[in-house]
Structure 1
């Protein structure tokens, strides 16, 4: 008798395991021990740096973060607000740009490269060298460059509003490269026959967007939402990350820095769980039975 072959669903499952195997192996070898050790360190206080002597303080570090540290809570709330405001703007902007780039327009390859260029120069060593050298630091970090004389005529209140708006636009332009590529991949995966059938039935472009494009793009929207949140919370210029790093390596308070890091990590984890739970009924998977 011929044995039963592997079904399509099992093949997809096995393919998924194969794709995540390198990450799982790397996490087990290089990330698991530091993660567990940082949790253990968060319940201790470093007394000697040279010989790294630790003193158990229980929940004292976590209590200090919420009660004694006057910077942690305001900075934590500010970082969360920025992420919650920037993420929807980045998603909407990147979706609009990807829809435009998905059409057969002149110079499409140039615009794709232009939007993805900040991803190449805006991460890792390249971005650090640009900032350390002072190349466009105010423009890259704080907003689109505007002469100071312009702000003098606006007044302090209106100037701050304009500056905040330009800073937000800078972040949106700088942080949409990966999202645009993912949206483009999702758009090109939608069958053209769906749009042709809709046009035969008299559907407009606006109706096709809401009835075809947006529902079929919901898995990519979820993926981009998770990516944008993680990218925002772990960015090299994130003030919370900088504060935790300075506390650990400048002030030599590694136990307290570990506790702040775990508070920060748990919030991000719970936020992502909330995103998955609240959107699971809205996601449309075309391969579902």
Structure 2
């Protein structure tokens, strides 16, 4: 007896193929992220990958400019000179790291407070948003070159031992009432206050975007449950802003380490383009500096998994 085999309808086969091509919301968002960074990756591979590799090779050589840019292999001599011979490198590196450790927390706290204030329904808040972002627009090229010495001088007047405000020696008073380490940290922060305010525009903008992206229904539900403003801020606002915190911290660290007036970058430039034109030694300094920054960012990203909250993500 013949048994007829009934084939599945064509519509069902199409539905199966469509289901096989479906991706989750998280995968779709990841795909969008890869698409956004694809142009940067293409640009890096096209214009920066070869100089990146070349500088690494250059750091193990000395360059003879008189012989037409000839390379002489010296191995780790450039790195030994940086750590054991050059008296400027290690102190400058420690100074840059100390300045970063002071600047980044102050910038993050100031940017969060400012964004929280300008997000309130105040009259003229658009004007204040523009004022806080204005330094980002004009802080470029020759404008910043001319303004930087004045900003630095303005900041230094807050902590200078020669400055007396209304007959009071501010540093002497600070050292009188605080332990030396805390007093020095406070005065260093005051000295850099103007520059810190000048470099907070991007962070304020990102925090403001994050605040406006929090659903109002969360705040309404918290109010119905009787939560105070302080509890709402700590249990709703801060957790929802944690991804923005991570972005701002990374941005602030990179911005601090790559500032055009950074003393470490000035040291690398002077080694490369002044005196004996020690391009190999400058490349070694640059790679050590890069590895230090890279390790700091790795630590920040590794620690962030404990406190960064992504809405809609499940364990």
Answer yes or no: same fold by TM over 0.5: yes
C-alpha RMSD over aligned residues? 2.3
Given candidates 135, 147, 154, the residue that maps to 1:143 is 154
2:98 aligned partner = 81
Asked whether the 8 Å contact 2:206–2:244 carries over to 1, the reply is yes
1:254 aligned partner = 279
Structure 2: any 5+ residue segments left out of the alignment? 1-12, 175-183
The structure number with the bigger radius of gyration is 2
Distance in 1 of aligned mates of 2:35 and 2:212:
25
Matches within 5 A, 1:1-289: 1-2=13-14, 3-4=18-19, 5-7=21-23, 8-49=25-66, 51-128=68-145, 131=146, 136-144=147-155, 146=157, 151=163, 158=172, 164-251=188-275, 252-289=277-314
Structure 1: any 5+ residue segments left out of the alignment? none
Q: Secondary structure at the match of 2:192?
A: helix
Distance in 1 of aligned mates of 2:170 and 2:237:
44
Distance in 2 of aligned mates of 1:115 and 1:45:
46
Distance in 1 of aligned mates of 2:297 and 2:22:
33
* Residue 97 to residue 156, structure 1, CA distance change in 2 (3 Å): closer
Which runs of at least 4 in structure 1 moved beyond 6 Å after TM superposition?
147-150, 159-163
Asked whether the 8 Å contact 1:121–1:127 carries over to 2, the reply is yes
When the two structures are superposed, what TM-score results if normalisation uses the length of structure 1? 0.91
Deviations 1:106-165 (A, max 9, x none): 11111111111111111334323xx2xxxx443323434859997165559549979744
Out of 212-221 and 4-13, give the one that drifted further. Answer: 4-13
* Residue 238 to residue 142, structure 1, CA distance change in 2 (3 Å): farther
Distance in 1 of aligned mates of 2:247 and 2:156:
32
Q: Secondary structure at the match of 1:247?
A: helix
* Residue 10 to residue 213, structure 1, CA distance change in 2 (3 Å): same
* Residue 35 to residue 211, structure 1, CA distance change in 2 (3 Å): same
Q: Secondary structure at the match of 1:96?
A: helix
